[in-house]
Amino acid sequence: MSHGILLLGDGSDAGRCLKLLIEALPGWCVIGEMTCENAVAGSPLRSTPDVVIAELNQLDASMMPLISAIRDKFGGSKLLAVSDQQDSRLVLRIIHAGANGFMITDRAPEELAAAIRTIAAGGMFLSPGIAGLEGRHPR
Residue 88, class by beta-carbon neighbours within 10 Å (0-12 exposed, 13-18 middle, 19+ buried)? middle
Task: Give the per-residue pLDDT at 102.
Answer: 94
Residue 134 and residue 139: Cα distance in Å, rounded?
14
Structural domain containing residue 96: 3-126
Residues 6+ apart with CB under 8 A from 9: 15, 18, 33, 35, 36, 54, 55, 57
The H-or-E segment that residue 78 falls in is strand 78-83
Distances, alpha carbon 25 to alpha carbons 80, 103, 113, in Å: 16, 17, 7
So what's the pLDDT on residue 62? 75
How do the pLDDT tens digits run along the chain, 139 residues long? 679 999 988 666 667 788 888 888 899 999 988 887 777 777 667 778 999 999 887 767 777 888 888 888 888 899 999 988 888 888 888 898 899 999 988 777 889 999 999 999 999 999 987 755 544 444 4
Would you state the pLDDT for residue 61?
73
pLDDT, residue 138, reads: 42
Q: Is 83 helix (H, G, I), strand (E, B) or coil?
A: strand
Tell whether 59 is covered by a domain: yes
Whether 55 is covered by a domain: the verdict is yes
Question: What's residue 125's pLDDT?
Answer: 95
Residue 132 domain-assigned (yes or no) = no
Confirm whether 17 is domain-assigned: yes
- Residue 131: inside a domain: no
Residue 7 lies in a domain: yes
Count Cβ atoms within 10 A of the Cβ of residue 46 and give its class: 0-12 exposed, 13-18 middle, 19 or more buried.
Answer: exposed
Number of domains observed in the structure of the chain: 1
At 43 the pLDDT is 63
What is the value of pTM for the model shown?
0.85
Residue 10 covered by a domain: yes
**Does any domain span residue 136?**
no
55: domain CATH number is: 3.40.50.2300
Residue pair 115/101 in contact (Cβ under 8 Å)? The answer is yes
